[in-house]
Amino acid sequence: MIREALAGKRIFITGTTGFLGTNLLERLLRTVPDCEVVLLVRKGKRSSVEQRLKREILNNDAYDRLKAELGKDEFAAMAARRILAVAGDVSRDGLGLDDAGRAALASCDVVIHSAAAVSFDSPLDSAVEINLMGPTRIAHTLQDLGVTPHLVAVSTCYVAGNRRGSAPEIHVVDSPFFVDVDWRAEVDGARRARSDAEAQSRTPEKLADFRAQARAELGAAGTPLLADKTEQLRGRWVSDRMVAAGRARSASVGWPDAYAFTKALGERALMEERGNIPVSVVRPSIIESAVAEPRPGWIRGFRMAEPVILSYAKGLLKEFPGVPEGIIDVIPVDLVASAIIAVAARGPLDEPDVVQVASGSANPLRYKRLVDGVSEWFGERPIYDSSGQPIMVPEWSFPGRGRVQAQLERAMTLLEKAEKGLQALPLRGEQAEWSARIEDRKAEAERALGYVELYGAYAECEAIYGVERLLELWDTLDDDDRRDFCFDPRVVDWDDYIREIHLPSVVEHARVRLAPGKRESETREDRLRRQVLDPQRQLAAFDLENTIIASNVVASYAWLATRRLPPVDRARFVAQALKAAPGWLAQDRKDRSDFLRFFYRRYDGAPVDQLDEDSLEMMSQLLLAKSFPAAVRRVREHRRLGHRTVLITGALDLVVKPLAPLFDDVVCASLAIDERTGRYKGELLEVPPTGESRAQALFDYAAAHDLDLSEAVAYADSTSDLPMLDVVGFPVAVNPETRLAALARKRGWLVEHWSKASGAPAPTFPIAPRARSAASSGGRR
């Protein structure tokens, strides 16, 4: 019946980049071979709808089965023949369709609207524009076109709100518990809330706060990156305000979150605005991995339960709110897709109808049964940590949300204090990883708290969603339809589904370790290192300090300054330097370029010939002793692979000149010379290559040598180097200081820990051995 009813039909679908939409489209292409589909696809920032169709929609493992049955070439030909992608957006009036898109929509017999802002913590205005206004915009567009296809709108069972007991398949306004909310006023209110938040975010006080946060995270990364981070923080603050507004408004009128709230009002608005458009509403409960189609366990991204399950399996979440005897209303995605297709094939009824696709009333899964199944499974197959040790799952308890939230908030407070304390210390390399690990734990605690806040209400929900109309539709199907389009929730064996289908799929997609010992497969670090040393790379740029050598401009100056000083003056120099060091460090952290300009004034009057001679000695006695052999090997490896190498540093040319043969080119700072006296002036000839000027130097170098920065590698140690690290395709943090260690970990960059050769002298202060001719050298400041 279903296949025949949809044969030759043209079906317009929204939301095919999502989880449910992907399963729905695959099923139509595979089981209804005579239908055609028109997909509404939003243009990407840098991609057309055709590119998104090829790279995002059809390049999904959901289609592996169909590609195997047809062959890749025939699959591509079938897709070209049966799929038309049109540019549009359900958050825009008229769906943002051009004339070709409007014509395509007008030619369709069925419209399936599955696009939604499905996140439970969507900003209120985004949820309103997509979930509330989306279905109505489709109806209005169809009315403008003068066509009346069957509109199948996908909603959610949770439009019933926070309630106990029966939740039948009726329209939201017919429920005795529905709070009479004016959906038009909610649209206006959400838009005003966005405008108010945007305005408040631009006040001088808030902008100063965002800039301070940016500096705290990035340090002396330079004005452009700090400005970009400040704007990111401002946008995030506005988004957070809108998320909070959604939670508060939905809770005030009896819904668990903005998603359910705006879906409920979206149904109401559609019923009022549909005109003569025939409408059916399909309401799934919590959609999870497939029970059978296109294969058991198929899932796209993580849904509601997976983050909680994995947090428990990793020992991060020891308890979660919920009612042990309560029902977790879960439904496999393929059953939902089948129900939508069956409703579309059945056609519209005389009046708009509601069909719920849920399991709670027909085949309930009790919360305790789910928890026991998960606990037993991970007890038998524990996840292993990075040290190869099994993580034993804790005994699950069922507390209230308040208790769990309080515990997680206390943990976050302690972690924040520890993080601030470590960031204040001058840690570097593997020691700085302590701070990065604490940030990871803090992020995990934040996620766990988010899960409790977002999903706790669903775990505690005691509504029972009726499926009488769903089962009535099931009863009309013949055996072939029941085999190919199964949507009967009673067929799911929950114990088998949890243990044999869902959990294996979850751990596979999470890429967690289920075996002891070291990974036999390539580690993340090995994979990143292999990418960095791929022959296709074109350029490798290196910082100097704490990347190639464990030294800095202060150490170099101290060595050169003390080279020809008598003992008494050396002691005085050391005392003065130690006294000034905290101020130098503070200035360096504030602005690297300003610090270098200030510090290099100390070279004013220094004889050029004498420093040239001394710098050669410093190369052998200081720089080589403090060099990282692994760094030198890495530079040589890049050159062996044919990559161009460049050293970009704020150090002076007189210091780095002996290192020049190691690289193809060197970009560094240079001091002006008084040609009359043969002495340095203590003034830089150009802006020192630090911060954003270092990135510009890299841009200029790449352009001069016709190199692609997306194929370039950059090595550096500090957040002041972020501009250079951000512009290349393969950034590497070397012996990173605390802030960069945390950022590199968060962004998935390669981190290298290189050390000096053992046995090298390690003086407390970099004082040069006294030159033999010091008594007659004349000295200098």
Residue 361 dihedral angles phi and psi, to the nearest 5°:
-90, -25
Exposed / middle / buried, residue 282 (Cβ in 10 Å: 0-12, 13-18, 19+): buried
- The pLDDT score that the predictor gives to residue 420 is 65
Mean pLDDT of the chain: 86
Confidence of residue 775 (pLDDT cuts 50, 70, 90): very low
DSSP string, 504-569: HHHHHHHT-B-SSSS-SSPPHHHHHHHHHT-TT--EEEE--BTTTBS--HHHHHHHHHHTT--HHH
User: Which pLDDT belongs to residue 777?
Assistant: 41
- pLDDT tens-digit series, residues 677-709: 999 998 988 888 888 888 889 999 999 999 999
Q: Among candidates 519, 614, 155, 159, which has minimal Cα distance to 167?
A: 159
- The whole-number pLDDT of residue 779 equals 41
Work out the average pLDDT over 188-211. 96
Q: 93-109: per-residue pLDDT in tens? A: 999 999 999 999 999 99
Domain ranges of the chain: 1-181+254-285+332-362+466-485, 198-252, 302-328+367-463+488-519, 528-752
Indicate whether 321 pLDDT > 80: no
**What digits encode the pLDDT tens for the residues 263-297?**
999 999 999 999 999 999 999 999 999 999 999 99
Same topology, domains 1-181+254-285+332-362+466-485 and 528-752? Answer is yes
619-677: per-residue pLDDT in tens? 877 777 888 999 999 999 999 999 999 999 999 998 888 889 999 999 999 999 999 99
Residue 416 tokens, joined: 């924040």
Residue 778 has pLDDT above 60, yes or no: no
Q: Higher-confidence residue: 91 or 515?
A: 91
Q: Superfamily assignment of 528-752 in CATH?
A: HAD superfamily/HAD-like (3.40.50.1000)
Is the CA virtual torsion 443, 444, 447, 452 positive or negative? negative
CATH code of the region 1-181+254-285+332-362+466-485:
3.40.50.720
Residue 283: Cβ-neighbour burial (10 angstroms; 0-12, 13-18, 19+): buried
pLDDT at 425 over 70: no
Contact 465, 336 (CB under 8 A): no
CB-count burial class (<10 Å; 0-12, 13-18, 19+) for 398:
middle
- Average pLDDT for 311-317: 76
Question: Angle 584-588-590 (CA atoms, 0-180°, nearest 5)?
Answer: 120
Three-state DSSP state, 33? coil
Strongest mean pLDDT among 5-19, 37-51, 302-316, 582-596: 5-19
What lies within 8 Å, CB to CB, of 347 at 6+ separation is 5, 150
User: What is the pLDDT at residue 774?
Assistant: 45
pLDDT band per the 50, 70, 90 thresholds, residue 82? very high
Has residue 22 got a pLDDT over 90? Answer: yes
Of 650, 732, 721, nearest to 692 (Cα)? 721
> Which pLDDT belongs to residue 738?
80
* Percent of the residues in the chain that have a pLDDT greater than 70, as a whole number: 87
How far does Cα 363 stand from its chain's mean position?
36
Across 72-86, 414-428, 451-465, 729-743, the highest mean pLDDT is recorded for: 72-86
Rounded Cα–Cα distance for residues 732 and 631 (Å): 12
**Between 271 and 55, where is the model more confident?**
271
Top mean-pLDDT range of 93-107, 175-189, 414-428: 93-107
Please state the pTM of the whole predicted model. 0.77
Distances (CA, A) of 253 to 179, 262, 455, 618: 7, 11, 18, 74
Beta strand pairing call for 286-288 and 330-332: parallel
More confident residue, 44 or 153: 153
